[in-house]
Amino acid sequence: MRYRAPIAAVAFLFSISASAGVFKDETDRFTGNRAVRWDSLPAQANEFSFSTVALYLKGSPGPGYYKVQLITWGDSAEFRECHHTNWLVDGVIDPYLEYEYSATSAGSATIERFDKQVDRANLQRLASAKLIEFQVCGTEGKISQSDMEGMRKVLDATK
């Protein structure tokens, strides 16, 4: 039982890595909760991708919350000791994007995640940006156009 999470993480990693991202709108048949999500993982180690999810609790007419997630993977937890993030939205420093770090190791791969729960207004603001850039410690990157479109798909599906 304790190996399910790491095995699932590796399976998820390899199922997503073949494509830029996957849009899903599913209702869990056991809980009745609905998740509208854009799941994305980088195709190569030490690159980043950006995922978005809206979760509707059973019977709720609107999402209980939205979450965005910056994800990377590699041979080790590169950011375990230094995992603060800085963000630029269309070139302007964004103080609202403080992320929570977590890591999952399975075999020789480690998936590192930076999660942030946001409200709809904040997600709309991010989705309307032309360019979102980030810095994790000294590593810089930007959100891909594919992941920006995925975020917009989640917003459109949760009107």
Domains plus CATH for the chain? 4-157 (2.60.40.10)
Q: Which of 13, 40, 46, 44 is nearest to 140 (CA)?
A: 46
CA distance 65 to 149: 19
The answer to whether the Cα torsion of 156, 23, 5, 27 is positive or negative is: positive
Band of the pLDDT at 108, cuts 50, 70, 90?
confident
pLDDT higher than 80, residue 10: no
Give backbone dihedrals phi and psi of 126, rounded to 5 degrees, phi first.
Answer: -65, -40
- Residues 6+ away with beta carbon under 8 Å from 54: 35, 36, 37, 63, 65, 66, 154, 157, 158
CA distance 95 to 142: 17
CA distance 111 to 121: 29
Band of the pLDDT at 13, cuts 50, 70, 90?
very low
Mean pLDDT of the chain: 88
Secondary structure (3-state) at 36: strand
Query: Which pLDDT score is estimated for 65?
Result: 93
Unique residue bearing structure tokens 């950006």: 50
- Does the pTM exceed 0.75? yes
Query: Which pLDDT score is estimated for 44?
Result: 93
Region 33-46: mean pLDDT is 95
Band of the pLDDT at 114, cuts 50, 70, 90?
very high
